[in-house]
Amino acid sequence: MAGNRAVVYDRPGRVEISDIAYPELILRDGPGVNPLNVGRKCEHGVILKVITTNICGSDQHMVRGRTTAPSGLVLGHEITGEVIEVGRDVEFIKKGDLVSVPFNIACGRCRNCKERNTNVCTNVNPDRPGSAYGYVDMGGWVGGQSEYVMVPYADFQLLKFPDKDRAMEKILDLTMLSDIFPTGYHGAVSAGVRPGSTVYIAGAGPVGLAAAHSAQLLGASVVIVGDLNAERLAQARSFGCETVNLREHANLAEQIDQILGVPEVDCAVDCVGFEAHGHGKSHGEAPATVLNSIMEVTRAGGRLGIPGLYVTGDPGAVDEDAKIGTLKIRFGLGWAKSHTFVTGQTPVMQYNRELMSAILSGRAQIAKAVNATLISLDEAPAAYSEFDQGASKKFVIDPHGSVRR
């Protein structure tokens, strides 16, 4: 039997490359696995040889020690792979298929899945609706920053690429379909972006850049991206966005006014989440900053897409309330302006097929927008460190050297 190497969370600030068990069509006990999921049989699943798997900002929250993730947790929820083994109950997915794996684990049988809300499947996580690979409190499904991984409910979940050779030519774009591209797109759709819209994107990390590119695809007339990181803002400008450096300019509304002639936008997207910082040179962590600022600059009647991650448990939070996800949000302002808020995990399966078509047709250039950077599995720990320091890159791990350089 083949071995299996993976990126494993060790302790705050440290990940390691470790030997882990080769996957089976059953969920074994291990770090982070919910006891009620131990022994769960998955004959409806497949084993994948991982072709690409990406480092996500959500992974970084765990690695920083800002969640209750246990030592030994195998990381990785952005997975693209080749099917090498199929379970007894798999009917339509075949060995050799090249597939994208939605980061949401979904059964396809519960009420939420049948209503296309695969982000809150009720059958895969005994703790609460919704699950993901390699993530704390998500049921314990083993992560995919590895050489091989098991994926359950294969017939329902997997997005098969129609032509393997053509897919491999665009693999740095297609690898973004498991999470980042649908998540950015969902943020823009939730915010109501349409032709002619003016849009503010909070955060120029990979999800923010994906949201900005998505807003352009949806026809926005002006996309403004705000961040504290000059390198990431330069990346946003590289594909036509306006930018605001919030380290240098604390007043967001004034900066929007200088760009648009009015101090507000039609809609806004929060791509930062719970580790948000205040604005200005002496900024510190202030987790409600982005939510409050996007309410301030979004016009009355506008919509706010919030794909940025907010958690119910943050041991490193700045105060006791924030440690349980209670933030000082100016909800009265949002109410007074009749804002619509859309939050939560992205239901990837609502978007990934159409975004695949946009990539294969050349309409979407997501790898370029997020500066996709290919690395080996052994380079992952250094990439985590570089990403944590604000590098404007989307790191794509190639565990087997499958991607043509």
pLDDT digits (tens, 9 = 90+) for 218-231: 999 999 999 999 99
Over residues 3-16, mean pLDDT: 96
Segment (H or E) for 18:
strand 14-19
First vs last C-alpha separation in the chain: 29
Q: What average pLDDT does this structure show over 341-363?
A: 97
pLDDT, position 312 = 87
CATH of the domain at 352: 3.90.180.10
Residues 98 and 185 in one domain: no
CA distance 265 to 128: 35
Instruction: Compute the mean pLDDT over every residue in the chain, rounded to the nearest whole number.
Output: 96
Q: Is residue 287 part of a domain?
A: yes
Q: What is the pLDDT of residue 404?
A: 87
DSSP at 322: G
Would you state the structure tokens that stand for residue 229, as one six-digit string? 């990181």
What is the residue range of 112's domain? 5-179+348-397
Instruction: Confirm whether 404 is domain-assigned.
Output: no
H helices then E strands: how many in the chain? 14, 17
CATH assignment at residue 281: 3.40.50.720
Read off the pLDDT of residues 196-219 as tens digits, 9 standing for 90 and up.
999 999 999 999 999 999 999 999
Q: Could you identify the residue written with the tokens 């199929």?
A: 86
Residue 403 lies in a domain: no
C-beta separation of 285 from 318 below 8 A: yes
Per-residue pLDDT of 87-108, as tens digits, reads 999 999 999 999 999 999 999 9
pLDDT number for residue 281? 83
pTM over 0.85: yes
Q: Are 18 and 136 contained in the same domain?
A: yes
Cβ neighbours for 62, distance < 8 A, ≥ 6 positions apart:
9, 69, 73, 75, 135, 136
Whether the pLDDT of residue 1 is over 80: the answer is no
Contact between 144 and 329 under an 8 Å Cβ cutoff? The reply is: no
Task: State residue 310's pLDDT score.
Answer: 92
Owner of token pair 């448990």: 313
Quote the DSSP letter at residue 156: H
- Please indicate, yes or no, whether residues 140 and 235 belong to a single structural domain of this protein: no
Are residues 145 and 225 both part of a single domain?
no
Domain end point (choices 308, 325, 343): 343
In a domain, 405, yes or no: no
Query: Has residue 112 been placed in a domain?
Result: yes
Q: Which of 207, 103, 180 is nearest to 149 (CA)?
A: 103
Tally of residues, the chain: 405
Domain-located, residue 314: yes
Q: What is the pLDDT of residues 276-314, one digit of tens each?
A: 999 988 778 899 999 999 999 999 999 999 999 998 888
Shared domain for 279 and 316, answered yes or no, is yes
Alpha-carbon separation of residue 226 from 86, 196, 214, 339, 385 (angstroms): 45, 20, 16, 20, 23
In a domain, 48, yes or no: yes
Alpha helices in 95-162 (DSSP H): 111-114, 154-157
How many Cβ atoms are within 10 Å of 385's Cβ, its own excluded? 14
- Domain membership of residue 367 (yes or no) is yes
The answer on 335 and 223 residing in a single domain is yes
* Burial class (CB within 10 angstroms; exposed 0-12, middle 13-18, buried 19+) of 162: exposed
**166 in the same domain as 89:** yes
- What pLDDT does 2 receive? 75
pLDDT over 90 (residue 36): yes
Q: In whole angstroms, how far apart are CA 74 and each of 1, 9, 190?
A: 20, 6, 31
How does pLDDT run across 317-342, given as a tens digit for each residue? 889 999 999 999 999 999 999 999 99
* Extended strands (E) in 190-331: 198-202, 222-227, 242-245, 265-270, 298-306
Domain boundary among 343, 361, 388: 343
Domain boundary (343, 365, 386) is at 343
pLDDT-above-90 percentage for the chain: 93
> Could you please report the per-residue DSSP string of 81-113?
EEEEEE-TT--S--TT-EEEE-SB---S-SHHH
My answer on whether 32 and 148 are in the same domain is: yes
Judgement on whether residues 117 and 166 belong to the same structural domain of the protein: yes
Radius of gyration of the chain (CA): 20
Which residue(s) pair with 16 in the sheet? 8
Q: How many domains does the chain have?
A: 2
Q: What mean pLDDT comes out for the span 140-145?
A: 97
Quick one: 240 and 323 in the same domain? yes
252 and 386 part of one domain: no
Looking at the fold, whether 184 and 294 belong to one and the same domain comes out as yes
Rounded to whole angstroms, the Cα distance separating 113 from 350 reads 11
